[in-house]
Chain A
Amino acid sequence: MNEMQLKFLSRSENEVFARNAVAAFALPLEPSLSELSDVKTAVSEAVTNCIVHGYAGGEGWITVLCRTDGDRLELEISDEGKGIEDVERALQPFYTSLAGEERSGMGFTIMQTFMTEFSVVSEVGKGTRVRMSKRFGAGAPQRAANAQ
């Protein structure tokens, strides 16, 4: 069992830092390259949501909590931004509240597909919290930690 917490400002330049930090934290669990890539993508999606939707380009704090438990990585990514009015609609593939902005509406779908467990809790005016977990070892035998 291990834990880590990251807290950073909602600037897009922090996305690469956040996904790589979580990936580095997960390495002792010996994920495959593909599993690690799934985690990085899911983190990137969640953090992008905080920046683009939660704070809508303004500045605020994003918190990433990571916990390992056996072969499982648990993540909690939250903001204190504007929240989601209709979570059910936001979860629909291809739905985006920013239709004029070349947004794919695939963020939540990717998080749900790439991670083992996923849930989102949001309150308008308070913020949004995404919880995700991934169990490693179900897929390919190649291990990222031993790959280089």
Chain B
Amino acid sequence: MQMMGSRRGDNLYIFLSGELDEHTVADVRTRTDRLIDENAGLSRAVFNLAGLKFMDSTGIGFLIGRYKKLRKYGMAMFLEQPEPNADKILSLSGIYSLMPKI
């Protein structure tokens, strides 16, 4: 599971790739939270899911956890380019009402 951050203007882009499940989530959570802490003060965080080949409901918990963290910093959260598998789970969970797909 890889995570890469990139800052563009007032946006923090977070690129997730690989397979997100119970085994991989702890490490990516730590690294993502560090990246968010380093970029606190920006307006938005955009999670790019194009490289996420697999995700189960662990991913929902992960995204909601980051949403809560970002909200404390006053940062809005968005999701982009989910694969069909992830998109199906994200839609089912209703998570797009918290973090819109752009």
Give me the interface of A with B, judged by CB distance under 8 Å.
Answer: 12-13, 15-16, 19, 34, 37-38, 40-41, 44-45, 48, 51-52, 101-104, 106-107, 109-110, 113-114
Contacts and interface: CB of A to CB of B under 8 A. Distances in A.
Given A45-B56, A104-B57, A110-B56, A12 B84 contact: no
Interface of B: 19, 21-23, 29, 54, 56-58, 60-62, 64-65, 84-85, 88-89, 92-93
Contacts of B89: 41, 106, 110
B21 A104 contact: no
A104 B60 contact: yes
A142 B65 CA distance: 36
A37 B87 CA distance: 12
A106 B60 contact: yes
Contacts, number: 63
B85 A104 contact: no
Contacts of B21: 12, 15-16, 44, 48
Interface of B is mostly: helix
B72 to A, nearest CB: 15
A42 B19 CA distance: 15
B93 A52 contact: no
9 pairs of A and B residues whose beta carbons are closest in the complex: A12-B23, A104-B60, A102-B61, A106-B57, A44-B56, A102-B65, A37-B85, A104-B61, A12-B22
Contact of A45 (B57, B61, B64, B85): B57
A113 to B, nearest CB: 6
Contacts of A101: 61
A13 B22 CA distance: 8
